[in-house]
Structure 1
Amino acid sequence: MADTYTPPVYGTGVKATIQRIGGHLAGMIMPNIGAFIAWGLITALFIPTGWLPNEGLAALVDPMIKVLLPVLIAYTGGRMVHGQRGAVVGAVAAMGVVVGADVPMFLGAMIIGPLTAWILKYVDKFAEARTRAGFEMLVDNFSAGIIGGAMAVAGVLGIGPVVQVITTGAGNAVDWLVGNGLLPFASLLIEPAKVLFLNNAINHGVLGPLGVAQAADTGKSILFMLESNPGPGLGLLLAFMFFGPRAMRPSAPPAMIIHFLGGIHEIYFPYVLMKPRLILAVIGGGAAGVFTFMITGAGLVATPSPGSIFAYLAVTPRGGLLASLAGIAVATAVSFVLAALLLGFGRGEKEEPADDAPEPQSATAGEQSANGEPAREETQTRTAAKEA
C-alpha cells in the first residue's frame, strides 16, 4: 500500500495534496517492483542486443510490458481503493486501456484501476441495504462483472486513446529536446516532481513507455536514465552527511545505502523538503548527469527499477558500462558541490554544547527586585540550604 513506501502526508494545502497523489501513485508501482525487475532482466538478457540473445525467450518482453505490468498496476490500485473486489474490477478494466492503445499503458492503468474500484465501492454501498438475504453473492458478482466490463469498454473507446495522445505529446516534447540538444533541461521538471513523490508516475508512466519505443528501434534508450539516475540523490545525502544540520548528519549514511544500493529514492525527498533551496542541487546534478549521458552515448535496455546501482548495471547493454558510471559519478559530484554551497559548508550550524557546559539558570534565579537584589523567595531558599 502507499503508506508502506512513502511517508504519511498531513495537511490540506496544495503541496500536501500533490504529495498525497504522488504517494498513491507510488503505492501502485512499488508493490510490483519485482515484476518490473523480472521484465528488465529478461529484456537485458534475451533481446537481440542483450547479453544472451534468444529469440524464443525474447518473446516474453512485449506481452509483459504491454499487458502484465499495466494489469498488475491497475490490480494494485483497485485493491488500495476497495480491497479484493476493487482489485479484480481494476484488472478487468485495465484490459480495455491495454487493447485501446499501442504503447504500454502504465498511466492509463493508474487511472482506470482506482477509478473502477471507486465506482464499485459506491455501488456496493448503494446495494448493500437494498439486497434481500440470500441474494448477496448474486448481486456482488453481477455488479462487479457489469462495472468491470463497462469500464473495459470505456478504456478501449475513451481512456486508452486519450492517454495515448498524452503519451505521444510527451514523446514529441522529449524528441524535440533530444533533437535540439536540450535534454538536460528536462531535469527542471523531473527533479521537482520527484521530490513531490511523483517519481514513479514520471518514470513508469511517461519516460518508461517512451524509452521502450526508442529501445525497440535502437537497442537502448537514454530516457530510461533521466529519472532513475541515483547520482543527484547520492550527492545530496553526502552533502548532508558533512555539512547538514548536526542532528540530521547521522541519518545520512544509512539513507545513502537505502538510496544508492536499494534504489529507494524516496528516502532523500524529505531532506529536500526540509530545506527547499536544495532542489537546485538535485536539478543541477540531474542535468549534469543527463549531459554526460548524451555526450558519451549512454543508454539502457530497460527501466532500472528500483533505481539502484545494481539495477543500472543489470540493464546496461554491452559496451555501455563506462558511460553509465560516468553519468552517475558526474551527477553525484555536481549535486554534492551545489548542496554543500547551499548548506554553507556547515558554517551556519551551531556547535553542540559540551558535557561540562554550565546549565542555564532558572527563571526564578534570574529574577531581580527593583533595587537589584535577588528575589526574596530565592534568597530564603539559599539561606535555608546553607544552614542545613
Structure 2
Amino acid sequence: MGFWGKYRDLGVKYRDFGARYRDTDYAPPPSSAPPPSGHTPCRPRSHVVFLKTHKTGGSSVVNVLSRYGESRQLRFALPHRYQFGYPSPFRAERVRGFRPGRTFDIICHHMRFNLSEVQRVMPNDSFYFSIVRDPGTLGESSFSYFRAAAPAFRNSPSLDAFLSSPWRFFRPGIRGNHYARNLQWFDFGLPDPVEPQKIPGILQNLERIFPLVLLAENFDESLVLLRHELCWPRFSVDSFAHNSRDRGRSRISAEQTRRLRAWNSLDWALYSHFNRSFWVKAEKFGIARLRKEAEELRERRRVLAGKCLKGGGPVPPKSIAAAELRPFQPPGGGRILGFALREGLQGEERERCGRMAMPELPYKDLLERAQFGGNGSGSVGG
C-alpha cells in the first residue's frame, strides 16, 4: 500500500463540533478604532488561492483559511479525496462539484500548481499567495516525514549517509522521489531541469502570480502581512502550530544545512528570491509596526492556548482522546503532534477551540459535509 493510501485505513468518522461559526467570532469589537490616519479603508477579500507547499507550516495557514471561510459560508474548492491528484499537475476536474463556468471562493489544499487550470476554478480577482522555507531545514524535515514515500530516502540509512552521496540513492523520475529534491520548486509546478540563466526570469514571473509569499521562519510576521493584504479582522489569523513534529533531541548541523541547500539548489534560489521580496514588503509596511502586531498575535496565541488546550500546547497523539483531533501519522516518519482540548469547555468556546485544534484532514471532511452533505469522508490521492 502506498504512502497516501494509508489514509484509507483510518476508518474514522469525524464528527462536527456543533453549529458553524458566527461572523462575530472573528469580527473586531464594536468599539474598535477607525484605521490610522493615512490608511485607506479596504474591503475584505473573499477569493483566495493558497498554494500549500510541503513541510513549510502550510497546515496552520489552511486552518486559518478554513475557519474564516466556514464562518462566512464561503465555497471551498475541495479535492475529491484529500489532495488534487498530487503529484500530478492540478486540473480543474479534480475539484469536487466543478463544472465549466462555476467558480469557488477559496482553494487551499495540496496541489502541484498549474495556473491555467486554477484559473478555471477561481475568480479573476483572486489573491494568490504561498509559503516557503529554507531548504536547509526543510530537507531534514522531509527526510523524516517522507521516509516511506521517497525511495531515495527509504534506501538511505541516515540523513548523513544520504547527504554524503545523494546520487547513490536518488534517481530522478522514480515515483515519490520528488519529495527528496527541490520539493518546493516541484510544488510550484516549475520546470526541472532548467537552464541556470532562466531561473531569475522564472522567479520574477512567479512573483507576479504570487504577490505575497510567506516565510516559515517568520510565520507570525507573515500572518500579519497576510491579514493586511486580505483586509481580514485582526483575530482571523489567530492560530496554533499544526503538524509539528516531535523532534526529540535531534538537531541539524551547519554542515548538513549547507549540503541540503546545495542539493536543493532550485529550492534555495526560490527561497532566497522570496525571502528578499518578503522583507521589501515588510519595510514598506513598517518593521516596528510589523514586530508589534506579530508580538500581539503571539500573546493572543498564548492566551488561547491556555484557554483551549490541555497542557497548553501540542501533545503526542496518544494523549488526544477525541479521534477527530488526532493528526495523521506518516508511516515510518517522525511522530506528529496534535492538540487535546481542556476539559470543561462548553458552547461557543468549545466550538472555537475545537476548530482551531482540528487537523487539516478532518476539517476538510467537515467543510465537504457542509457543502455537499453525506459523511464527507475522503481518502488521499485523488
Q: Which has the larger radius of gyration?
A: 1
Relative contact order higher in (CA < 8 Å, ≥ 6 apart)? 2
Write 1 or 2 for the structure with the bigger share of strand. Answer: 2
What TM-score does the superposition give when structure 1 sets the normalisation length?
A: 0.25
Write 1 or 2 for the structure with the bigger share of helix. Answer: 1
